[in-house]
Amino acid sequence: MTNSRRSFLSKTAIAAAITPFAPLSGFGQTYQQAIERTPKHSPPSDLKITDVKCGYIRGSLFVKIYTNQGIWGCGEGVDAIPGTYYLVKNFGMRLKGKSPLNVHRLFEDIRRQGFFQGAQSGMYVAVLSAIETALWDLAGKALNLPVYQLLGGKFRDKIRVYCDTALYQRNLPQPEDFAAAAKKATGMGFNAIKFDLDQANDPNKYDAYNWTASPGELQRMYDQIAAAREAVGPKNDILVDMHGRYDAVTAQAISKRLEPLNLLWLEEPIPAENSEAYKLITESTSTPIAAGENHYLAYGFRRLLEIGGVDIIMPDLQKCGGLGEGQRIANLANLYYTPFAPHMVASFLGAMASCHVCASVPNFLILEWQSYFHTDPMFKEIVTYDGEWVKDSFITISEKPGIGVEINEEGMKKYAIRDVPFFQ
């Protein structure tokens, strides 16, 4: 065996010496091709941030971080982002000349520098979420790894999503509309469906400012969800959102009434601020209560989890602090055996960024998916991704370096908000 191996190596070396310019074949060719495919960036230690630019579309902020090696990272922030162009530029000035690979350190630097500038929540944190996400995307591209790998690896390859039907109550939908929307979603392959129950123009309301639902409103809510449940049967999950627009009395009443319909959760029946009120509601019903899209940073979830205020947490990773902070929130929840189900109203960039976090934690339950991804062409035009977006209620996690989804600036231009600088 040894002689044979030596003989083979000797002959290979002689052949290589005799024909140094001969075409490579077999393993040699594969190896050469691998070398050629490997990005020729300079050492990571030389990677520096050179600029930060942004663009706005509807409710989203898109950030792009540039470097001296010609690679960039993209991130997205939502909701608390109007009028934040100069905040992005301010953060960008703090990042210039620094290595994007120190994601946690850069996040902490900007957060600590803003203790007296609003760094506890709101616009400051939403913009920081976009910046932090772009840093992860950039680090993944520089190191040729998907973001989930940078977060410590993955527990799953596919991320289950529920379809938010966008059956908005302003149009006064009837129970049959709920049934039709539920059937449509299941027909598209989704096995979990969400509906909104808050209806500002319900003729049964006491008045515009009273947060207590009348008996007529409660009956309307029940009838709508009962129709959806009957339409899809017992094996599909149904979720309900109230957008924090009712009081604790109503929350207790509707959660009890909906118990026979076996919901996956009742979402934000009251505003986000009062954890103790959430605890009273959660303890009063077997319907699981979920909240978190309007909480910021891990500290914002501490009290809610400590007292058992909710059954399920649902931070929005495009505004709660970003991907690293989202993982910290999930890990904190895991100590209390609480499922993690992120809220998601961003583009497919934000959806896939969220997927990397969902893959990286053990207590992931389900991620939000928007029905308008299938109906509004804008969402296909503003990003670039050559894979399948969603199939049978699952998103397959990208294995590409970084997040795996790119923003398409040309496609974004016609949707950009007027009179706001666009990637300048």
pLDDT in tens, 130-158: 999 999 999 999 999 999 999 999 999 99
Confidence label for 43 from pLDDT (cuts 50, 70 and 90): low
Cα-Cα-Cα-Cα torsion 140, 381, 193, 335, nearest 10 degrees, comes to 20
Residue 152 gets which letter from DSSP? Answer: T
At residue 27, the pLDDT reads: 40
- Domains of the chain, CATH where assigned: 44-145 (3.30.390.10), 150-403 (3.20.20.120)
Confidence label for 166 from pLDDT (cuts 50, 70 and 90): confident
At residue 167, the pLDDT reads: 85
* 35-50 mean pLDDT: 69
At residue 274, the pLDDT reads: 96
Q: Is the pLDDT of residue 31 over 80?
A: no
- Residues in CB range of 184: below 8 A, 6 or more apart: 165
Q: Is the pLDDT of residue 11 over 80?
A: no
Q: Is the pLDDT of residue 191 over 50?
A: yes
DSSP secondary structure letters along 46-115 = G--EEEEEEEEETTEEEEEEEETTS-EEEEEEESS-TT-HHHHHHHHHHHTTS-TT-HHHHHHHHHHHTT
E-strand spans in 347-421? 367-370, 383-384, 394-396, 406-407
Which residues on adjacent β-strands are paired with residue 238? 193
Confidence label for 39 from pLDDT (cuts 50, 70 and 90): low
Q: What is the mean pLDDT of the chain?
A: 91
Percent of the chain residues topping a pLDDT of 70: 89
pTM of the model: 0.89
* Pairwise pLDDT comparison (13 vs 353), residue with the higher score: 353
**Picking from 5-19, 295-309, 392-406, which range would have the lowest pLDDT averaged per residue?**
5-19
**Which amino acid type is present at position 320?**
C
* 404-415 mean pLDDT: 96
* Pairwise pLDDT comparison (237 vs 39), residue with the higher score: 237
Helix (H) or strand (E) holding 184: helix 175-187
* 272-281 mean pLDDT: 97
* 183-203 mean pLDDT: 95
Residue among 305, 316, 304 at smallest CA distance from 129:
316
CA distance 123 to 60: 12
Percent of the chain residues topping a pLDDT of 90: 86
Which residues on adjacent β-strands are paired with residue 77? 61
Count of C-beta atoms within a 10 Å radius of residue 90: 16
At residue 36, the pLDDT reads: 56
Q: Is the pLDDT of residue 227 over 50?
A: yes
